[in-house]
Amino acid sequence: MTRETAAQSCLGLAISRRERQEVFCIDCEDALIWTDWKVGRQSTKRLLLKNVGTEHQTLQYKVPQSRTFSLPFPEPFRLPPGMTKTFLVTFSPHHSQSVVEALEFVCDKGAFVIFLKATEKRAAVSIPRAIDFGLGAVAANTSIPFLVHNTGSLPVTVLWKDVQPFRILPETALIPVGRTEKFTALFHPPGPLAYEGVVVCSLISKHGDRKESEDLSSSVCNAEPRAGTLEDTLEAEKEENNRATLQQPREDAALLKNASWAPDVETEAAQMYSMDVKGIGKIPHLHVKGKTEVAVDFGIVLCGTVETQTLLLDNSSSVRAHFEVLRIGNPPQGNLRASPVTVCSRSGVVEPGEHFPLTFTFHGHSVKEVFQEFQVVMKVGAPITVKVTGVVGHIEATLSSNHLHFGDVPVGRKITKQVQLRNLSKRASSYHFVNLQDSAFVCLDKPSGLLGAQTSVTLSFSFSSLVPLRFHKRAFCLVNGAEEPVVLDLLATAYDEGRPATLTLGHVYLKRWQELENALPPRDSLEFDCQGNPEKVPIPPETPTSLFKMLTTDFSDTSRGLSVSPSLVDFKCGESRRTLSVFNRTGEKFLCIWKDSLDRKRKKNPAHVFSVSPRRAELLPNSVTTFQ
C-alpha cells in the first residue's frame, strides 16, 4: 500500500487554495510535487505561508510520520498580517514508487493540510485500441485522424512501425509532458480484399536527474522579500523575526548543498504499444446515368459565343472515387485558341452515393466543325468516355444590295447614296471596310463600327470626281465571325461634254467572267441593247481564292499589270524635280489621274508643296509613261 492513506487519516481539512484563504486567512500551495527524482538522492523545495488576514496568527505543523519527507523541528510561530513564513521540505526517496504524505498545519481557526507528493518518473501514452477503416477505395488513400496523449511524467518520442497497406503519419514525433499530438492513419489497399494488421508504437524517453536548482526555481510560491522589522509589532513578532534571521543561513546552506549535486548521465528507455488496424478494399465505380460512354452535342454555336453543358458523375459504389479528366489528343502547347472545348473541373473526388458536376465549355474562334474526346479515368475501374461535338457557326451579315450604282455624275458634283448592312445573327459583331482608305473618289461615313444582334446600320457612300471617268471598285467589308467578306460593287460614270460611255453592272460582270479563266456565261443568259451594251448578265461565281486575291492585291501591284517606279520619291536636299514612271503591261488603255488623297478632307486646298505634271495622261497598252 502506498503512503496515500496518510492524507485520509489526517484531521486537517483538504480544501482548495481559495477556500483556505477565506476560512483560515492563510495563502499557500495545495501541494508540493516532486516529479524528477531518483532513489538515494535528496531534493529540497520551499513551502511559503502568508497571512492574508488582518490579525496575528499562531501556527504549528505536525511532522509527517514517514521519513521520506523531512522538515525542521516543529515549533509554534506567530505570523503577523501580510507577513510570510518559509519552510524547507526535503524529499529523500528510499524506494522507486510514488509517495503521497499530508503535512498538517494547526492555527487559531482550525487545521488544514498541504500534500507532499512524489510521482514516479515514467513514460506513458494513451492511443486508440483499434482503428477500423471500413471500406476503402482500391489504390487510393483512406485517412482517419487520431490523437496520442502523453500521460506520463517524461517527454517521449513516438516512433511508428508500419504494416502494409496501413501507415501512420507522421512516422515520428516528440510529445511533451501533458501534451497531445495529432496523427493520421492511412489505408491504401492494393486490391479488393480484406486487410488486418497491428501497428506498433515505440516510446523513447530519457531518464536522468536535473540539477536541484531547477527544483528550487519551481517553488510553490514566488519569492518575496523576507519579513523585516515592524515598528509597532509585539514582542513575539520580534522573536519570530530574529528566529527567522538566525535560521536563514542554515536554510541557504542546505539549499546550496542540494543544488551542488551534478546530474546523472541520461539513459534511454523504450516501451511498446500496439494498435489493431483493419479495412476492406473496394473498387469505385463512376458513371453518367448508368453509361460509361456519353456524347455531348453543342450543335451550332456562333463564333465567339460561349455555351456550356454539364454532366453529372454518379458514384454508385460505397467508397470515394478519385478521378482525373484527360483529353485524348491534346492541342499544341502555347496555342490558346487551338481547342474550343474545355472542361472544369479537371480532377476531383466523388463521395459514395453522391454526384459531381462536370462542365464542358464550347468557345469557338473560327468557323469549323469540332470534335474532342475526353476520358474520366481513375487509378482502378472502368473509365468514362465523353465525345464532344459541335459546329462553330458564322455570323450571317448581308447588304441590302450587292451593288451601289451612282449613275451618271457630272464632273465636280458630289452624290450620296445609302445601303444597309444587316446582322441576321443573335450575336453582336464588329465590321470594317478594309479597302476604302486610299480611295480619292468614294467616301464612307462609317467605315467601321459595331453591328448589334439582329440589327442593321445605314452606310452613306459619297462619290465625286474632277475628271470624266468610268469608276468601279469592289468594297470589302469584314465582319468579325462571318464566313467570308461582304462585297459591295461601287459603280459610277463621271462625265462632261466629251463624256465617256456609261458604265453598267453588266460591263463589270462580263469583265469578271473573262478573268475567271476566260470563261463566258451561257449565251442564252445574256441580253444586249441596240448599242451592244450588256443589259442582263448573270452574276459570275465567287471562289475563296478569287475573293482572297481581290481583297489582298493592291491596284498598283505588278500582278495587275500596272506599277509605279519608284514607289517612294525622295527629293533630299536641293533637288526640286524628280522623274516618275508608270508601267502598263496590259493590253488595255487606261487614263491616269493624279490627285491629292487629302483634298477630300480639306475645306480649302492650300498651296500644293508637291505636284505631278501632267495631272492627267493616257496609259497606252504595254508602254511606259513618264511624269515629273
Domains of the chain are 5-120+211-259 (2.60.40.10), 125-208+267-281 (2.60.40.10), 287-393 (2.60.40.10), 418-557 (2.60.40.10), 562-627 (no CATH)
pLDDT in tens, 341-370: 999 989 999 999 999 999 999 988 777 888
pLDDT-based confidence at residue 50 (cuts at 50, 70, 90)? very high
Whether 70 shows a pLDDT value over 80: the answer reads yes
Return the percent helix, strand and coil in the chain, to nearest 5.
10, 45, 45
Closest by CA to 211, choosing from 31, 34, 35, 36, is: 36
Amino acid 227: pLDDT: 39
Residue-level pLDDT at 249: 45
Model pLDDT, residue 529: 59
The pLDDT of residue 261 is above 50? no
Q: What is the pLDDT of residues 391-445, one digit of tens each?
A: 988 888 999 988 898 988 898 899 999 999 999 988 888 999 987 876 778 899 9
Given a contact cutoff of 8 angstroms between Cβ atoms, the answer to whether 108 and 57 are in contact is yes
pLDDT greater than 90 at residue 385: yes
- Over residues 2-22, the mean pLDDT reads 64
Phi, psi for 256 (deg, rounded to 5): -65, -40
Q: What is the pLDDT of residue 257?
A: 44
Residue range 509-527: average pLDDT? 66
pLDDT, one tens digit per residue, over 565-620 is: 787 777 777 667 788 888 887 777 777 888 765 554 454 555 567 788 888 888 88
Flag whether pLDDT at 33 surpasses 70. yes
Within 8 A by CB and 6+ apart from 29, the residues are 17, 47, 48, 114, 220, 221
Q: Cell 489493431 maps to which residue?
A: 276
Can you give the pLDDT at residue 45?
93
Share of the chain above pLDDT 90, in %: 35
| CB-based contact 584:623 (threshold 8 Å) | yes
| C-alpha dihedral (331, 333, 338, 341), degrees to nearest 10 | 60
Please tell me the least confidently modeled range out of 115-129, 298-312, 447-461. 115-129
Residues 209-217 have a mean pLDDT of: 35
Sequence letter at residue 565: S
Q: Are 15 and 115 in contact (CB under 8 A)?
A: no
Q: What angle do CA 55, 59, 65 make, to 5 degrees?
A: 160
Please write down the long-range contacts of 256-259, taking CB distance under 8 Å and 24 or more positions apart.
Answer: 258/42, 258/43, 258/44, 258/90, 258/212, 258/215, 258/216, 259/211, 259/212, 259/213, 259/216
Maximum Cα–Cα distance across the chain: 155
| Mean pLDDT taken over the chain | 79
Nearest to 68 by CA among 40, 110, 27, 26: 40
Residue 560 grid cell: 495587275
CB 433 within 8 A of CB 592: no
Residue bearing cell 460614270:
493
Mean pLDDT of 304-314: 91
Collapsing DSSP to helix, strand or coil, 506 comes out as: helix
Q: How confident is the model at residue 338 (pLDDT cuts 50, 70, 90)?
A: low
Cell 465567339 belongs to residue? 304
The region of weakest confidence among 254-268, 418-432, 502-516 is 254-268
pLDDT band at 11, cuts 50/70/90? low
| Residue 236 in this model has a pLDDT that exceeds 50 | no
Residue with cell 497571512: 51
Question: Which range has the top average pLDDT, 105-119, 229-243, 314-328?
Answer: 314-328
To which H or E segment does residue 596 belong?
A: none
Mark 400-437 as b/e (b = at least 16 C-beta within 10 Å): eeebbbbeebeeeeeeebebebbbebebbbebebebbe
- 161-165, 171-175, 312-316, 576-580: segment of lowest average pLDDT: 576-580
CB 197 within 8 A of CB 251: no
Which residue carries 515520428 as its cell? 172
φ, ψ for residue 600, nearest 5 deg: -70, -10
- Grid cell 500582278 in the structure block, residue: 559
Q: Which residue would you say has higher pLDDT here, 124 or 169? A: 169
Query: Quick one: pLDDT at residue 304?
Result: 79
**Do 430 and 450 touch, CB atoms closer than 8 A?**
yes
pLDDT grade, residue 253 (50/70/90)? Answer: very low
88-101 pLDDT, tens digit each: 999 998 887 778 88
